[in-house]
Amino acid sequence: MNNDNKNKNKNEQKINHPILDDEKDLDRFFDNVKETKLKKTITKAKRRSIIRNIMISVLVVAVLLIGGSIANNELNYRLEGPIQIAVDNFNKISAPNKYIGQVKRYHGFLGGKNEYTTYKLIEGKVVYTGEGTYSYGILQNDYGSWIGMESPLILGSSFGIDDLKLQRFNELGQKEMVFFYPFINYSEYKNDLQILDQLEENKIMEMALSFDKAYSMDQVKKMIPGNVTLAWYWIDDMNDQEKEEKQPRKEESTNPNGGEEIIEMPARIVSEQRAYGIKALNENGEPLEEPEQEFFWALKNGKEYDTRYKGEFERVYHHVVGEDGQLAKEDIKVFGVVVTGDRESLKSLSKLPFIKASSMGVIVDRY
């Protein structure tokens, strides 16, 4: 009996094992299928997530770049405006017979810079006189990276009567004009009207004229002959103390050895680079109907902005316009002018008694 049972169990084992193995294989198969599907699903989900994150990142970067660029440009326009207005208006109250020409504007990150050319008008002819630049931005002021300037003495500007010993020029080789104060009795005067005959007949030029006293603008218009072009009025922009400082005087100073010494300060003259006045012509060479109003608006607009010119705008405004804020033409005192013309027309000025000094500037061929 036992033997029969044992044989039966063996037969049953032989019959049942293949079935069990098939079920296990089937389970493993389905497990593998499930695992494969799950891996594929996870892989697809990861791929979609990566693609979605990349698209979101690209979109965010694009929005930031576009938005940042728009915001940066808007900021640059706001930063550029004040210094641009100040430079333009400072040229209108100074720079005898000189105008701002082409302006190149460069926007950068949180700032930028502008480069401009300047020119003079000599009897309708445009004469290039150089260039300038100014910067602006959150991380820089209007000087930008500029830290100073060096040049030989001949390319400098005149300050005192002693400087007349050396004619000064700009970097283009054009002569510097100088003015003489009417309230100072100088030991010598510059009189370039006397050398006109040394020039060729086809030359045209500008000439700075210094008067014997202050005149009104209306008086000056009548005084200057009609055969020359009145281009610019040099005006009185100083108070009594400032005028006193222009007189020749002696000052105490400490020498390198620690001792005291007396220094002779010569009478001051004014370089065209530091003179203030009123343009009689616009940038196209056309006469201005109310040049004093153009001057007033330039002063008023210029002093509203916090730039390196603000102090001078306020100083000149205070002395010329006054506390009431109203500019009357009668308040303007003219110390001299800049005129242009050819050799023969300018010679008509040589014997006018109110002209105390004359200084030649840019000289060019008529054609």
pLDDT digits (tens, 9 = 90+) for 287-336: 999 999 999 999 999 999 999 999 999 999 999 988 788 888 888 999 99
pTM assigned to the model: 0.82
Q: Looking at residue 33, what is its pLDDT?
A: 60
Task: Measure the CA–CA gap between 240 and 313, rounded to whole angstroms.
Answer: 18
pLDDT digits (tens, 9 = 90+) for 51-97: 888 888 888 888 888 887 888 888 888 999 999 999 999 999 999 99
The pair of structure tokens assigned to 296 is 């007033």
DSSP 74: H
Q: Is the confidence at residue 14, as pLDDT, over 50? A: no
Nearest to 112 by CA among 87, 84, 92: 84
pLDDT digits (tens, 9 = 90+) for 134-166: 999 998 888 887 777 788 888 889 999 999 999
Relative to beta strand 334-342, strand 249-254 is unpaired
Q: Is the confidence at residue 28, as pLDDT, over 70? A: no
The pair of structure tokens assigned to 367 is 């054609």
- Give 216's contacts (C-beta < 8 A, 6+ positions apart): 329, 330, 332, 333, 334
Q: Sketch the domain layout of the chain as residue ranges.
A: 1-150, 157-236+238-275+333-365
- Mean pLDDT of all residues in the chain? 88
Q: Looking at residue 268, what is its pLDDT?
A: 96
Q: Is the confidence at residue 17, as pLDDT, over 90? A: no
SS3 string, 173-237, reads CCECCEECCCCCCCCCCCEHHHHHHHCCCCEEEEEEEEEEEEECHHHHHHHCCCCCEEEEEEECC
pLDDT digits (tens, 9 = 90+) for 209-247: 999 999 999 999 999 999 999 999 999 999 999 999 999
Q: Looking at residue 20, what is its pLDDT?
A: 54
The larger pLDDT score, comparing residue 4 to residue 243, is at 243
pLDDT digits (tens, 9 = 90+) for 99-123: 999 999 999 899 999 999 999 999 9
Q: Looking at residue 22, what is its pLDDT?
A: 60
